[in-house]
Structure 1
Amino acid sequence: MTSWIDSSTGDDSGFSLDVLPYGIFNTRIGAAIGRYILDLKALAQEGIFTTIDFDSSTLMENTLNSYAALGKQVHRQVRDLLQELLAHDTSRGTELRDNQKRRDRVIVKMSDATLHLPMSIGDYTDFFVGPYHAQNPGSTLHRNYMSQPIAYHGRASSIVISGTPVRRPKGQFLVDDKPVFAYSQKLDFEVEFAAFIGQGCEDGSPIPVDGAEDRIFGFVIMNDWSARDIQNWESSPLGPFNGKNFATTISPWVVPLEALEPFREPPVSSGPLLPYLHQKREDSVYSVPITVSLSGKKPYSPFVMLAHHTAGGCSLRTGDLIATGTLSGPSRKELGCLLEATKNGSEPYEFHTSETGAGRIVRGYLEDGDIVELKASGFGSCTGRVVSAECQA
């Protein structure tokens, strides 16, 4: 499916008509199409959505939360209408393509926009569902790993949009087997996907695994920055704390599940699961290529994660962010963090600094000034530059 916008610009952004991700630009709701943004607030003000039975004022807000909470039926109708307006051979061409004044009001160049966090995030949970990541550093899987998805609760206040500088954290870790308080020497990235909750369960009612898909608004790519020396010293007997809570970067565009249908596949075998985690649909995980690494297969789908997350009575709300944990594969080029790729810094890894492979750098862990960029077609970029904690961002 092609658009009269992206097909005419020689666009290579990945923001095709089949994707149409949502985001917030200049404090307005928009949808990315090629090198442009369709201003959904302006379209709502123009009365474009009157054929759909929903509160179009939700598209006039400065976050996606209210619109996300309307549910899948509304989202599909809005998506279908937008695709019809933008399709190359549209039957509704007079409403936008052939209306120059309206086009000038509702179509914005991506280069002229400032992007913001797409949703107001109340809570953030990071799962640990990549079996390669769990074992690549030399660890053995705990007995519970293949029975349930493991997770910890992160800091929603530390989630930032792509492009935000990341300060090197200071914390406690061991040097010569003695605890010190200093700047982390083992700063790492983690390649992850994360789901935004559309409709939650604020009363604490469990979400059934086969109904969890309808509760997800869409996905972003995510870099869960990690200070491995701080994390290693603090994580026993509880879990990650200061080694994880200083920054988490997400891409600005939320990709709806419909756009990810071509990437669905069965999960890896996780052994026998308890009945509340059994899914009827087999192709329940998504395998989407990322430029830093390839997403590894997972034993648990995002729908199993939601079912397990709420099984004990935990409430989820619109805008909550649920991450997969580091996505790695079996080969070195598929590893999703430096902890794995360098064997905890002992075997430095060589990175290409351009798509042509012309430039190369070698790293054990990240250095000040390094720019980490995760990219996936249709998601845009998830980028962060490491700066010294003493620098002004």
Structure 2
Amino acid sequence: MVAIARSRIAAANRVDCDFPIQNLPYGVFSTAGGALRCGVAIGDMILDLAACEAQGLIDAAGTFSQPQLNEFMALGRPVWDRIRARLTGLLVEGAEGELPLVAMADATLHLPIRVTEFTDFYASKHHAFNVGALFRGPENALPAQWTHMPIGYNGRASSVVVSGTPIRRPMGQVRGENGPEWSACHRLDLELELGAVIGADSVMGQRVSVEEAEAMIFGYVLLNDWSARDVQAWEYQPLGPFQSKALGTTISPWIVTQAALEPFRTSGAKRVNALLPYLAETRAGFYDLTVGWAMNGQQMARTNYNVMYYSSAQQLAHHTASGCPMRVGDLLGSGTISGPYISQTGALLEMTQGGRNPVLVNGEERTFIQDGDEVSLFAHAQGQGYRIGFGPCTGTILPARP
């Protein structure tokens, strides 16, 4: 049996730790009275990367003193690989020398990237069918093009927030008995997603292949694309969601790198037809990731990311099909991750069949999210004796402002 690498940070060696030495996710943090700077999670500690650079322990062209990771990501994959190898050497069990470590309990975590653009996709066949059936009936659930290309929409980068940020229930136009009404959202929902963080630019007018797209992805975050379903039902035709998706998108504070997830590559959902060549993959583009969500501390659903129909690389390649340029800091939402069973659904809209079948949360009925409810997403990949976790992705709902 191959020996499992261990860290000099004791907590990182626990089998239930999200942040072992095999993970090393990047984030941005601050301490009392201190500036925002970049760090890496290891066990229950944060390695202060700005201090590491100042002490000459690593060299990332001074980018780790920035209040976001964009400048580091822009240095490119060879630098990402070199820094990861160096960090592993600094943090491995038996390594010598003092390190600038900060207790995670003493740190405040911030949005890890400057989100340049946000695009949300619709890549779970189970979710697309379930929602389509509710809106259009089972015979028209999936649009004709759904199994041929990733479907998405451009969302709001300005309302992407880090885990722990409260979300305000939106006001909006909804369908009334005699026309539109101005109302607080009554059908507020979550969406369990994985977000791909883009770490390289592309050129306007030039397409990116799936293989090139793979190389552009820096890493992944958990992503909750909060949804106002009653607002969405009134506004979504003919151009899709607008205000119903602009209220907020919560992401986890730690970016789990593509390198950390590499051992967990797997195939996605079985295809019903061949894709056009520009979307063809030469290797599996999905990951064996257990994902799920909880409400007010009670686990509500659990599934696997490998149920998805389109990978992040395919989504990114399709995004550039028209020559649309991508930028460092772009964020691509996978779309709601739902399996075939009710207990595997990534949204209350599916779980409650459009609000018809309430679920119990700590003994209380829910059809959609109420004020004061806390929704938390979770994800991890399980290795032999360690796991690659994503940390928290949590938001609490505040009352609407009429």
- TM-score by length of structure 1 reads 0.90
Query: Of 366, 369, 372, which residue of structure 2 is paired with 1:366?
Result: 369
Look up the match of 1:267.
Answer: 268
Note the aligned Cα RMSD (angstroms).
Answer: 1.7
Shift in alpha-carbon separation, 1:280–1:251, aligned structure 2, 3 A: same
Displacement after TM superposition at 1:9 (Å):
7.9
Tell me, what secondary structure is at the counterpart of 1:49?
coil
Give the C-alpha shift of residue 321 in structure 1: 0.4
* One-letter code aligned to 1:338: L
Once the two structures are TM-superposed, the CA of residue 176 in structure 1 deviates from its matched residue by 2.9
Q: After the TM superposition, which residues 59-78 of structure 1 pair with which residues of structure 2 at under 5 Å, given as runs?
A: 59-78=64-83
In structure 1, how many angstroms separate the alpha carbons of the residues matched to 2:12 and 2:334?
Answer: 36
Deviation at 1:389, TM superposition (A): 2.0
Amino acid aligned to 1:189: L
Which of residues 375, 379, 393 in structure 2 aligns to 1:376?
379
CA distance in 2, matches of 1:83, 1:8: 12
Q: Take 1:228 and 1:287, find their aligned partners in 2: how far apart are those partners?
A: 30
User: Residue 134 of structure 1 aligns with which residue?
Assistant: 128
The alpha-carbon distance between structure 1 residues 21 and 203, as it changes in their structure 2 partners (threshold 3 A), is same
Q: Of residues 37, 40, 61 in structure 2, which corresponds to 1:31?
A: 40
Contact 1:132 1:329 in 2 (8 A): yes
Q: Tell me, yes or no, if the aligned pair for 1:193 and 1:325 is still in contact at 8 Å.
A: yes
Q: SS in structure 2 opposite 1:62?
A: coil
Decide which moves more: 306-315 or 255-264.
255-264
For the Cα contact (< 8 Å) 1:6–1:16, is it kept in 2? no
Q: Which amino acid aligns with 1:62?
A: P
Letter in 1 for 2:120: D
C-alpha displacement of 1:136: 1.5
2:385 matched residue in structure 1: none
Please say if residues 208 and 317 of structure 2, whose CA atoms lie closer than 8 Å, have aligned partners that are also in contact.
yes
Distance, in Å, in 1 between the alignment partners of 2:363 and 2:23 is 32
Tell me the alpha carbon deviations over residues 72-118 of structure 1, each in whole angstroms, 9 at most, x when there is no partner. Answer: 211111111111111114xxx22x3xx3xxx3xx1000011111110
Which of 105, 109, 128 is the equivalent residue of 1:115?
Answer: 109
Q: Determine the structure 2 residue equivalent to 1:14.
A: 18
Letter paired with 2:64 = L
Give the superposition deviation at 1:213: 1.0
Aligned to 2:296: none
Distance 1:337 1:258 in 2: 29
| SS at structure 1 position matched to 2:278 | helix
CA shift for structure 1 position 362:
2.7
Q: Which residue of 2 aligns with 1:310?
A: 320
Secondary structure of the corresponding residue to residue 328 of structure 1: coil
Amino acid at match of 1:294: T
Give distance in 2, aligned partners of 1:171 and 1:6: 50
Mapped partners of 2:197, 2:346: distance in 1: 21
**Superimposed CA distance per residue, residues 239-261 of structure 1 (whole angstroms, 9 cap, x where no aligned partner):** 10011001110000000011112
TM-score, reference length from structure 2: 0.88
Query: Which residue of the partner structure matches residue 389 of structure 1?
Result: 400
> Using the alignment, how far apart are the partners of 1:9 and 1:142 within structure 2?
47
Preserved contact between residue 208 and residue 307 of structure 1 (Cα < 8 Å): yes
Q: Do 1:69 and 1:199's aligned partners in 2 also have CA atoms closer than 8 Å?
A: yes
Q: Check whether the contact 1:202–1:317 (CA below 8 A) recurs between aligned residues.
A: no
Look up the match of 1:242: 243
Identity among equivalent positions (%) equals 43
- Gaps in structure 1 of 5+ consecutive residues: 352-358
Q: Which moved more, 1:41-50 or 1:328-337?
A: 41-50
Aligned to 1:257: 258
Structure 2: segments with no counterpart, 5+ residues: 31-35, 294-301, 381-388
Contact 2:148 2:276 in 1 (8 A): yes
Partners of 1:18 and 1:142 in 2: CA distance? 41
Secondary structure of residue in 2 paired with 1:83 = helix
**Range moving further from structure 2, 337-346 or 61-70:** 61-70
Alignment partner of 1:180: what SS?
strand
Give the distance between the partners of 1:205 and 1:213, measured in 2 at CA: 16
Distance of 2:346 and 2:113 partners within structure 1 = 26
Does the 8 A contact of 2:128 with 2:142 survive in 1? yes
Q: Output the CA distance in 1 between the equivalents of 2:168 and 2:270.
A: 39
